[in-house]
């Protein structure tokens, strides 16, 4: 008698689905911030024309490239997670695991946040503060909320690195954590590209 085995159904991880749904709500949140920025700008064009000249665009571009590069390093960490490689098997980057690639991503993200803090300090010293005018409010609210999201991503990187070290055997559960954190990190990087174009380029 021939036994027919039931087909294997590969359902998506509930963690991955939940993260994607949550990121959908974050898209709406940042869409609201963009709408606020454009509304304030439309009502105060002369303030924008004056205050945007203070922005250090070359510095912001370098900081943007640093953040964008962290998306690539995070993705290499995902590739390592998919092949269930928690740590490096050699000194060459091609042999790095999740820990090494995510730590590099963390470092690049931390440099980006430090760069933003330095830019805030510079702008405040030049008279552009949160409560100075409509431009100051729009600038700090939009970029500040993004900086908070980046900081959350940095904490998530540390969480994944710690879990990877703590795991006695690195399996699909640990790999899923790394993958969903990369979803979030790619999201904040894409949002920043939009912010950079709107705040620094489209003056």
pLDDT for 10: 45
Q: Report the C-alpha gap between 189 and 170 in whole angstroms.
A: 28
Residue-by-residue DSSP string for 62-81: HHHHHHHHHHHHHHHHHHHH
Asked if 158 and 107 touch (Cβ cutoff 8 Å), the reply is no
Q: How far apart are CA 106 and CA 115, in angstroms?
A: 14
- The domains of the chain are located at 15-201
Q: How far apart are CA 173 and CA 138, in angstroms?
A: 41
Domain 15-201 -> CATH class = mainly alpha
**Comparing 1-5, 94-98, 123-127, which segment has the lowest mean pLDDT?**
1-5
pTM of the complete model beyond 0.85: yes
How confident is the prediction for the chain on average, in pLDDT? 89
Q: Let me know: does 88 contact 97? Beta carbons within 8 Å.
A: yes
Higher-pLDDT residue of 96 and 4 is 96
- Residue predicted with more confidence, 187 or 4: 187
Percent share of the chain, pLDDT over 90: 71
Among candidates 146, 60, 162, which has minimal Cα distance to 106? 162
Q: Where are the alpha helices (DSSP H) in the chain?
A: 14-43, 45-51, 57-82, 98-125, 134-166, 172-196
């Amino acid at each position: 008698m021939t036994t027919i085995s039931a087909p294997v159904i590969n359902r998506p991880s509930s963690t991955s689905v939940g993260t994607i749904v949550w990121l959908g709500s974050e898209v709406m949140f940042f869409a609201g911030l963009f709408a606020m920025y454009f509304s304030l700008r439309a009502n105060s064009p002369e303030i924008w024309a004056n205050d945007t000249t203070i922005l250090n665009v070359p510095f912001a571009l370098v900081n943007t490239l640093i953040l964008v590069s962290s998306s690539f390093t995070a993705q290499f960490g995902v590739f390592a997670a998919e092949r269930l490689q928690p740590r490096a098997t050699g000194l060459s980057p091609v042999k790095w695991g999740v820990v090494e690639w995510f730590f590099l991503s963390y470092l690049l993200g931390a440099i980006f946040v430090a760069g933003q803090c330095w830019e805030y300090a510079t702008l405040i010293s030049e008279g552009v503060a949160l409560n100075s005018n409509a431009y100051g409010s729009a600038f700090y609210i939009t970029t500040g909320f993004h900086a908070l999201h980046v900081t959350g991503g940095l904490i998530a990187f540390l969480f994944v690195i710690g879990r990877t070290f703590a795991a006695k055997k690195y399996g699909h559960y640990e790999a899923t954590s790394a993958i969903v954190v990369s979803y979030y990190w790619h999201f904040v990087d894409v949002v920043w590209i939009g912010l950079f174009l709107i705040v620094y380029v489209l003056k």
